[in-house]
Chains A and B, each alone.
Chain A
Amino acid sequence: MAQSPPQATRSRQTGQTSAPQRETPSTRPAHPGLPSRGRLRLDALAFTRSRGNRVIAGVAGGLSERLGVDPVLTRIAFVLLTIAGGVGLVAYVVLAFASEEPGPRRPAIWREPTRRRTFGFALVIAGAMLLLREVGVWFGDRVVWPVTLAAIGSAVIWARGSDDDRGRWLQSAQSGNSIETLFGDRASIPRVVVGGLMVATGMGYALATTDTLAAAGSALLAIAVTTAGLVLILGPWILRLYRALTEERRERIRSAERAEMAAHLHDSVLHTLALIQRADAPMEVVTLARRQERELRSWLYGQPAPLEQERLGTAVEALASRVEELHAIAVDVVVVGDEPLDERSRAVVLACQEAAVNAARHSGVTNVSVYVEAEPDGITAYVRDEGKGFDPDAVPPDRRGIRDSIRGRIERQGGTVTITSEPGGGTEVALHLPRERR
């Protein structure tokens, strides 16, 4: 247990011979404004309730930080004083009102637990209890002393008086393998054994002395006392484990959100900026900027719900950004009316996309208009460019784009396709798909 400590940093508290001041790397040195010993100042009594380390209001946690005692010990003290006549409860409420609200920063006075302080604190509590007993604020020896014994046992197991344990705690909080680090370490076994015995003795004594009193429900009482004993032995560990898990989960959610936003910006804006830097034609820059603007706008103001995405209007918009992304052409989209996307309207969207891609490849102009109108009697769509056009009769039969992707697709659904084009006069692909009769 008495491993030689890593060479202690600064020894601020002079006159401390036993248990040199040790600090884990994560804690900062004691506050320089500590009141010197022996002089009692009013503000030295003030403390801040703990935000991170709390069960009810953070009083015990805050007091522990202020006094330099393990919080487990402070909590046990409050419980003991409560059992010894209810004083602990009163003290807790008073302190809760007297202490300061927790702030975002660590309170000014903040001490690491040491064995010396822990021992002193225990003596103060013991003295207070004896005093209360003398005064008569007392629930009776048969209740208080066994509970006290059990409480001390629990404290022996759980109070963090030394670096070894604290280091293990930190480690277990990080590794997540708590049971092994806790009970697998040889140094802690004597503590667990001694503490466990004390808890068991206390509980057994309580059972024995209240036996006559609770003859009827002794079985129930035995179970209750055993449970209480187990809580004393395992409770703090479960609590800490739970806290570590909650904190870890919160952190995971936070970082997942950050990662999602970063991923989105990376895939969209950063990517576009990189492309713009490499682009040499102004048209290319315009196309990239347009697509990015469209995409960013829809992401910022009304990210479409999955259901919404499956509508004709959004599908046509998506088509436009896809074509703009892949081909240096601006796609002007106008959609009139809307309807849920089904197999038939999807065919219209895909045919329009193919027509727009054709315009991008062959027309030689920099923009193409896509107009889609959903009416009660059917869907009509026009894809038009003012490019160089072509002779529809002269398309070689091995060019499958128009035949399969546009005409075939629409005609299979019972629609018609009209392609109007002449060399030099632009091209318009008109699709009409009548509504299915029900």
Chain B
Amino acid sequence: MSGAIRVFLVDDHHFFLSGLRAELGAQFEIVGAAGDVDSAVEGIRRTVPDVVLLDVHLPGGGGRAVLESVRQSHTDILFLALSVSDAADDVIGVIRAGARGYVTKSISPPDLANAIRRIHGGDAVFSPRLAGFVLDAFHGELTGPIDPELDQLTAREREVLRHIARGFTYKEVARRLHLSVKTVETHVSSVLRKLQLSSRHELTRWANDRRLV
């Protein structure tokens, strides 16, 4: 398994951690696991994994604290946020702090494995929930000075997100919109960039609510 993606798990629920290990252990190299912010930062710096599965709610500062500490020294480690939370401010907060995607813990093991591979391949992973939040955030009229590059979605991006929000996989989205899967991925990555960099009021508000600017 020399080419296996090296994955680090961060979650404070031991049952969930052991479940993840069992589900992912066959396909990925699990290089470590941690249950709080400090040991996670230390472990990730030591093992330098490809992908970190990061629980949003962690004792000691939350997933965001891990993201910020690690990304100061290691900008190439990719993060996939994982949470039971359905709250927009949690989701938007970790994405803006640098996570490449967000899935809920109810995701099926094969879907989770796919998401890890996709993240590792450089793409963004949007669950239907996240797509819905993004559409919500980029919804409505803009006030004040805007950067059209960052503060608005193109019609195509909106269409792609809508399909993801409806529960279609990237492949299905591509088929239905007569695009290549690669193009769908490009659109999603572009949306992720806007999500992280846009100064749209809704996004900054969500982030500010959790002190996650």
Interface of A toward B, CB cutoff 8 Å: 290, 293, 297, 330, 332, 334-337, 369, 371, 373, 375, 382, 384
Q: Which of chain B's residues have a CB closer than 8 A to the CB of A332?
A: 128-129, 167
Q: Are B167 and A369 interface neighbours, CB within 8 A?
A: yes
Q: Are A371 and B139 interface neighbours, CB within 8 A?
A: no
Q: Mark B101-138, 1 if CB is under 8 A from A, else 0.
A: 00000100000000000000000000011011001100
CB distance from A387 to the nearest CB of B (A): 13
B156 within 8 A of A: no
Q: Are B128 and A334 interface neighbours, CB within 8 A?
A: yes
Known: A290-B106, A334-B131. Contact between A369 and B136, CB under 8 A? no
Give the residue of B84, B106, B165, B167 whose beta carbon is less than 8 angstroms from that of A336: B165
Q: Are B165 and A334 interface neighbours, CB within 8 A?
A: yes
Q: Are A334 and B166 interface neighbours, CB within 8 A?
A: yes
Interface size, B (range): 10 to 19
Told that A336-B132, A369-B167 touch, could you supply 20 new A-B pairs with CB distance under 8 A? A290-B106, A293-B84, A297-B86, A334-B131, A334-B132, A334-B165, A334-B166, A334-B167, A336-B136, A336-B139, A336-B165, A337-B136, A369-B128, A371-B128, A371-B132, A371-B162, A371-B165, A373-B162, A373-B165, A384-B166
In the complex, the 5 A-B pairs of residues with the closest C-beta atoms, listed nearest first: A369-B167, A334-B132, A371-B166, A336-B135, A334-B165
Q: Are A335 and B132 interface neighbours, CB within 8 A?
A: yes
Q: Which of chain B's residues have a CB closer than 8 A to the CB of A337?
A: 135-136, 139-140
> What is the count of residue pairs linking A and B with beta-carbon distances less than 8 angstroms?
41
* Alpha-carbon gap, A371 to B135, bound state (A): 12
Q: Which of chain B's residues have a CB closer than 8 A to the CB of A335?
A: 132, 136
CB distance from A417 to the nearest CB of B (A): 16
CB distance from B143 to the nearest CB of A (A): 16
Interface of B toward A, CB cutoff 8 Å: 84, 86, 106, 128-129, 131-132, 135-136, 139-140, 162, 165-167
Among A290, A334, A369, A382, chain B packs the most CB atoms within 10 A around the CB of: A334
Q: Which of chain B's residues have a CB closer than 8 A to the CB of A371?
A: 128, 132, 162, 165-167
Q: Would you mind naming 14 contact pairs between A and B with Cβ atoms under 8 Å apart? A: A290-B106, A293-B84, A330-B106, A332-B129, A334-B129, A335-B132, A335-B136, A336-B139, A337-B136, A371-B132, A371-B166, A373-B135, A375-B139, A384-B166
CB distance from B136 to the nearest CB of A (A): 5
Q: Which of chain B's residues have a CB closer than 8 A to the CB of A334?
A: 128-129, 131-132, 165-167
Q: Which of chain A's residues have a CB closer than 8 A to the CB of B106?
A: 290, 330
Shortest Cβ distance from B141 into A: residue: A376
Shortest Cβ distance from B139 into A: residue: A337
Q: Which of chain B's residues have a CB closer than 8 A to the CB of A330?
A: 106
* Alpha-carbon gap, A332 to B165, bound state (A): 10
Q: Which of chain A's residues have a CB closer than 8 A to the CB of B162?
A: 371, 373
Shortest Cβ distance from B132 into A: residue: A334
Q: Which of chain B's residues have a CB closer than 8 A to the CB of A382?
A: 166
Q: Which of chain A's residues have a CB closer than 8 A to the CB of B135?
A: 336-337, 373
* Alpha-carbon gap, A216 to B20, bound state (A): 96
Q: Which of chain B's residues have a CB closer than 8 A to the CB of A369?
A: 128, 166-167
Among A337, A371, A375, A384, chain B packs the most CB atoms within 10 A around the CB of: A371
* Alpha-carbon gap, A373 to B162, bound state (A): 9
Q: Which of chain A's residues have a CB closer than 8 A to the CB of B131?
A: 334
* Alpha-carbon gap, A248 to B167, bound state (A): 56
Among A290, A297, A336, chain B packs the most CB atoms within 10 A around the CB of: A336
Q: Which of chain A's residues have a CB closer than 8 A to the CB of B136?
A: 335-337
* Alpha-carbon gap, A64 to B139, bound state (A): 72
Shortest Cβ distance from A368 into B: residue: B167
Q: Which of chain A's residues have a CB closer than 8 A to the CB of B128?
A: 332, 334, 369, 371
CB distance from B87 to the nearest CB of A (A): 8
Q: Which of chain A's residues have a CB closer than 8 A to the CB of B129?
A: 332, 334
Q: Which of chain B's residues have a CB closer than 8 A to the CB of A293?
A: 84
Shortest Cβ distance from B168 into A: residue: A384
Q: Which of chain B's residues have a CB closer than 8 A to the CB of A336?
A: 132, 135-136, 139, 165
CB distance from B84 to the nearest CB of A (A): 7
Shortest Cβ distance from A376 into B: residue: B140
* Alpha-carbon gap, A332 to B86, bound state (A): 11
* Alpha-carbon gap, A297 to B106, bound state (A): 15
CB distance from B13 to the nearest CB of A (A): 13
* Alpha-carbon gap, A369 to B165, bound state (A): 9
Q: Which of chain A's residues have a CB closer than 8 A to the CB of B166?
A: 334, 369, 371, 382, 384
* Alpha-carbon gap, A293 to B84, bound state (A): 9
CB distance from B30 to the nearest CB of A (A): 24
CB distance from B110 to the nearest CB of A (A): 14
CB distance from B103 to the nearest CB of A (A): 12
CB distance from B134 to the nearest CB of A (A): 9
Shortest Cβ distance from A430 into B: residue: B166
Shortest Cβ distance from A289 into B: residue: B106
* Alpha-carbon gap, A382 to B86, bound state (A): 20
CB distance from A324 to the nearest CB of B (A): 12
CB distance from A261 to the nearest CB of B (A): 23
Among B128, B135, B166, chain A packs the most CB atoms within 10 A around the CB of: B166
* Alpha-carbon gap, A152 to B84, bound state (A): 72
Q: Which of chain A's residues have a CB closer than 8 A to the CB of B140?
A: 337
Q: Which of chain B's residues have a CB closer than 8 A to the CB of A373?
A: 135, 162, 165
CB distance from B32 to the nearest CB of A (A): 29
Shortest Cβ distance from B164 into A: residue: A334
* Alpha-carbon gap, A371 to B127, bound state (A): 13
CB distance from B98 to the nearest CB of A (A): 24
